[in-house]
Amino acid sequence: MPEERDDHERGEHAKDNQFRRARLEKLEGLHELGIDAYPHRFTRNAMAAEIDARHATLAPGEVTEDHVAVAGRIRANRNNGMFIDLHDASGKIQIFSHKDFLAAEQLPLLRLLDLGDIIGVEGIVRRTPRGELTVNAQRITVLSKALLPLPEKFHGLADIETRYRQRYLDLIMNDESRATLRKRSQVIAAFRRYLAARDYLEVETPMLHTIAGGASAKPFVTHHNALDMDLYLRIAPELHLKRLIVGGLSDRVFEINRCFRNEGLSPRHNPEFTSLELYEAFADFTDMMDLAENLVRYAAMAACGTTAVSYGGTTIDLASPWPRRSMASLVEEKTGIDFLAIETAAAAVEMAQGLGADLKPGASWGHALEAAFAHTVEAGLIQPTHVTDFPRDISPLAKSHRNGDPRLVERFETYVNGWEIANAFSELTDPRDQLARFEAQMEERERGDDEAQMLDADFVTALEYGLPPTGGLGIGIDRLVMLLTDSPSIRDVIAFPTMRRKG
């Protein structure tokens, strides 16, 4: 296995085929013309879209005096190179290469260009009689000779595995893939803008944890050699962010970064995923509901220009106030069963199992309610809904509910399209309660639940120095971007999704 990896890393993957050989011969031809096929830089003064905007009203057949220098990839070639479609990051511009305009010594170069080559072109802008905005090339500069052919131009790259493994090809070929990843960037930029404007401080907390806390999930384990110590890739930044609130670094902090969970892959799960987590002192979970709605609306406007987004043919309305429904009431509405009226865990488990939920024997009341919710309600929450009032025993970091029911905490998850996209609490600030919750988690762990949370004694110590009342919110950025880009798989919104090593 290591030898196979070496082969791959040495770059012996390139196919030695007719296409590559033909291009290597052309590369040789460029050398013979004294041309460096991989120069160091090129000064351009215009992007395709700019030129397009600048000459939007130019009539067919008209020639301008606009001398431009553009650069991009050759994506189409008509009439033996006379017409080239040059694509840059902004769009497309046609290049007209004709001996009437092109420097004479450059004519041999035309025969050595291929689809996929990156070139710079200097010349005058005109609109052809057929109406296509065009640069009459006076000088062409090879900026990077492509040795491998691009996928077919009409159907593009369809093979989903290649699209994920060789994302560069997907991005060259598929407009939608570029649009999706650009929107992802816009969503994240919008979050930063929105939060920065409200005095949130962006911080960075460790990726390498000695205790994988802040969520219930299986961690990745790695090893630090010098310290001879195992470390976990973080499953959540939560406990460190709250330590920063304890310290008063800021009353409002946020972090946008990766979390890692060593669990199954699915169209909605990637082992590394990106979350926004934020904490606001003196706020509670109802403040977090408002904030979640405002953040998502703001990001949708920034990325899509609308708060009415279409996913899989369904229109999702992000604009209207999002209903706030307690988990138990949603289950009761769906099943007629009021879990709040069920006293014992055993009875609740039996009831949940009767609804078809899969529960381990000995599961708690809270696990039973949550299982009943997941089995009967979750998938039907298409329009945004805040599901509130979670069970205490599945929420070890959330504060007890002020409504007085000791089984509940002040926590909500926001569901859209049947997916959890946000999770928030009135943060648990009572150190003795926190310790008790951790101890309960450790007991679950000892009973075999390897996703129960680990006890973080230093975090309890931090709470003992005093955490102000605090609201916390996490938003799953990948799923939100899926929603905003109508993407069927989380892999569509992650540039380089986790893939098995190809045998």
Contacts of RNA in 49-88 (CB under 7 A) = 76-80, 82-83, 85
Q: Residue 19 interacts with RNA (CB under 7 A)?
A: yes
- How many amino acids of this chain bind RNA (CB under 7 A)? 72
Q: Where are the beta strands (DSSP E) in 103-228?
A: 118-127, 133-144, 201-202, 208-209, 221-224
Give, as one character, the DSSP assignment of residue 218. P
**What does the block give as tokens for 64?**
């301008």
Q: Residue 40 interacts with RNA (CB under 7 A)?
A: no
Q: Residue 314 interacts with RNA (CB under 7 A)?
A: no
> Considering only residues 370, 427, 456, 478, which one is a binding residue for RNA as defined by CB under 7 A?
370
Query: Are 104 and 113 in contact, with CB atoms under 8 Å apart?
Result: no
Q: Residue 151 interacts with RNA (CB under 7 A)?
A: yes
Q: Which is nearer to RNA, 201 or 374 (CB)?
A: 374
Closest separation between CB of residue 186 and RNA, Å? Answer: 24
Q: Which is nearer to RNA, 60 or 247 (CB)?
A: 60
Give, as one character, the DSSP assignment of residue 367. H
Closest separation between CB of residue 322 and RNA, Å? Answer: 17
Residue 402: Cβ within 10 Å count: 10
Q: Which is nearer to RNA, 76 or 89 (CB)?
A: 76
Q: Residue 114 interacts with RNA (CB under 7 A)?
A: yes
Q: Residue 397 interacts with RNA (CB under 7 A)?
A: yes
Q: Where are the beta strands (DSSP E) in 145-251?
A: 201-202, 208-209, 221-224, 229-233
Closest separation between CB of residue 39 and RNA, Å? Answer: 22
> Considering only residues 17, 294, 315, 344, which one is a binding residue for RNA as defined by CB under 7 A?
17
Closest separation between CB of residue 303 and RNA, Å? Answer: 22
Q: Scanning residues 119 to 138, which ones bind RNA (CB under 7 A)?
A: 128-132, 134
Residue that has been written with the tokens 């070929």 in this structure: 173
What is the separation of C-alpha 52 from the centre of its chain, rounded to a whole number of angstroms?
A: 31
Q: Which is nearer to RNA, 39 or 129 (CB)?
A: 129
**3-state SS track over 300-347:** HHHHHCCCEEEECCEEEECCCCCCEEEHHHHHHHHHCCCHHHCCCHHH
Contacts of residue 331, Cβ cutoff 8 Å, sequence gap at least 6: 337, 339, 369, 372, 373, 376, 377
Q: Residue 152 interacts with RNA (CB under 7 A)?
A: yes
Strand partners, 275: 257, 476
Strand partners, 254: 202, 278
Measure the CA–CA gap between 148 and 35, rounded to whole angstroms: 19
Closest separation between CB of residue 319 and RNA, Å? Answer: 25
Q: Scanning residues 464 to 483, which ones bind RNA (CB under 7 A)?
A: none
Q: Residue 502 interacts with RNA (CB under 7 A)?
A: yes
Q: Residue 271 interacts with RNA (CB under 7 A)?
A: no
> Per CB under 7 A, which region of 93-101, 326-334, 342-350, 460-468 contacts RNA?
93-101
> Considering only residues 160, 249, 308, 457, which one is a binding residue for RNA as defined by CB under 7 A?
160
Query: Are 384 and 318 in contact, with CB atoms under 8 Å apart?
Result: yes
Q: Residue 451 interacts with RNA (CB under 7 A)?
A: yes
Q: Which is nearer to RNA, 153 or 224 (CB)?
A: 153
Closest separation between CB of residue 75 and RNA, Å? Answer: 9
Q: Where are the beta strands (DSSP E) in 351-447?
A: 385-391, 408-416, 419-426
Q: Residue 115 interacts with RNA (CB under 7 A)?
A: yes
Closest separation between CB of residue 405 and RNA, Å? Answer: 17
**What does the block give as tokens for 462?**
């931090």
Q: Scanning residues 209 to 268, which ones bind RNA (CB under 7 A)?
A: 215-217, 261, 263-268
Residue that has been written with the tokens 């017409």 in this structure: 83
> Considering only residues 159, 290, 443, 458, which one is a binding residue for RNA as defined by CB under 7 A?
159
Residues 451-470: b if buried by 16+ CB within 10 A, e if exposed: ebbbbbeebbebbeeebeeb
Q: Residue 389 interacts with RNA (CB under 7 A)?
A: no
Measure the CA–CA gap between 385 and 318, rounded to whole angstroms: 10
The site string for RNA over 324-363 (x = CB under 7 A, - otherwise) reads: ----------------------------------x-----
